[in-house]
Amino acid sequence: MHKNLTTDVVIIGAGVSGCSIAYQLRKAGVDVIVVEREEIAAEASSAAAGLLSPAGVLTGPADGANLYLAGWSIILDTIAEIVRVSGIDVECRQVGGLHVFTDENERAHLERYAEVWRTQGSEATWLADDQLQQEEPLLNAHYTTALSVPLATSIRPRLVTQAYAESARALGAHIYEHTEVTGFQWHKQSITGVETANGETIHCGRVVIATGAWSSQLTEQLGFTLPVFPSRGQILALQQPEQPLQHTIFGKGLYLVPKVDQTIYIGATREHVGFDKSNTAGGIAWLLSTAISLVPTLEQAAIAKIWTGLRPMSEDGFPILGYAPNWENIILATGHGAGGFELSALTGRTIADLITTGQLTPVIQPFGLARFNKPTTSIEEI
């Protein structure tokens, strides 16, 4: 990188959020530099399960449900577009989801969830007994009823993030990896440049903070903190058994997602343990025992991989999108929690629109930083 660069917009963080925003900004003809301290998709954006199937959030607060439905309405087309532009196969497959329940409360919740999909014109049907066993013979026969949601889709998170990044590059974005942002330069209420650990300054008209779980560390030096903290997710992959699992199974607080590479991703824990990225005996034991109780044949499956990631979780679980208060040109795009991929197309489009038109798209209006001054319902209470 050269010592003194100038651009319209600096995006800090090359996870799925930052790369999606870069792509949409380049489509609008805006000059962009993305600065990443490690590599593209180094953190949560490579650790994710890659499920595109908004679930509990759709029966929560209306603003949150609307946000996720707006995200859902454009994600598959956007993924098809970045696959075309970048030439990267992101292993996108509509696997379909089967939701099982253990008590009447959960069943009632699933019924409300099914209603939301039906009002969107999507299929959500109950399967029982023989029909269920035929659809998914590997499901524990103890479960005699399940809600089938055929639209559940699986992607490979690292590849999707790279596809956003390469699409942005193809349109002229610059992405500097191994370049940590360590400070800012400003005049009055306006950022004029970002400083990097390599001793460079990038002069800019605007800054987007898309630094995931680390977002608050960066803004502290600007005089404000963000209610975003790391939520550890432990996750693992098993090899598919000879007779493979066909559907994504949701139940008992986890999901099992069959992948194109003949593995099944099983995730994930939700733990508040700071920036500790360890896998623990307890976390892995819970994932395995719960998965085996849902699909008993997995007891014999070989373990392919175990890993962990830090979700950028806001206090209410929904993202923080919009201008930072008291600053003229800092834009926040963080706190996506467990849904950064599902919301990635929407994040890119709405933040690019905000920068090019100055207007907040109505669906993201409730998701500014200012909402944390008021009482809210947490996504984790849903």
Ligand X SMILES: Cc1cc2nc3c(=O)[nH]c(=O)nc-3n(C[C@H](O)[C@H](O)[C@H](O)COP(=O)(O)OP(=O)(O)OC[C@H]3O[C@@H](n4cnc5c(N)ncnc54)[C@H](O)[C@@H]3O)c2cc1C
- Site residues, ligand X (CB under 6 A): 12-18, 35-38, 42-45, 47-51, 180-181, 210-214, 218, 233, 235, 267-268, 309, 311-312, 334, 336-342
In the complex, what is the shortest distance from the CB of residue 101 to ligand X, in angstroms, rounded to a whole number? 20
What letter represents residue 360's amino acid? L
Q: Which two tokens stand for residue 203?
A: 């002069």
Q: What's the sign of the alpha-carbon dihedral 308, 309, 315, 317?
A: negative
> With respect to ligand X, which residue has the nearer C-beta, 81 or 180?
180
Query: Which residue, 219 or 329, has its beta carbon nearer to ligand X?
Result: 219
Q: 313-316 — which CB contacts under 8 Å span 24+ positions?
A: 313/213, 313/228, 313/229, 313/230, 313/231, 313/337, 313/338, 314/226, 314/227, 314/228, 315/227, 315/372, 315/376, 315/378, 316/371, 316/372, 316/376, 316/377, 316/378, 316/379
- Nearer residue to ligand X within complex by CB, 132 or 329: 329
- Helix runs in the chain, H state only: 16-27, 44-47, 62-86, 104-119, 129-135, 157-170, 215-219, 281-294, 344-357
Distance of closest approach, residue 23 Cβ to ligand X, in angstroms: 13
CA distance 19 to 12: 10
CB of 329 to ligand X, least distance (A): 18
Shortest distance, CB of residue 134 to ligand X, whole angstroms? 27
- Phi-psi map region of 285: left, alpha, beta (phi>0 left; psi -120 to 50 alpha): alpha
Between 207 and 360, CB nearer to ligand X: 207
Residue 339 vs 366, nearer CB to ligand X: 339
Min dist CB 166 to ligand X, Å, is 16
Least distance between ligand X and beta carbon 54 (Å)? 8
Tell me whether residue 64 or residue 233 sits nearer to ligand X (CB atom).
233
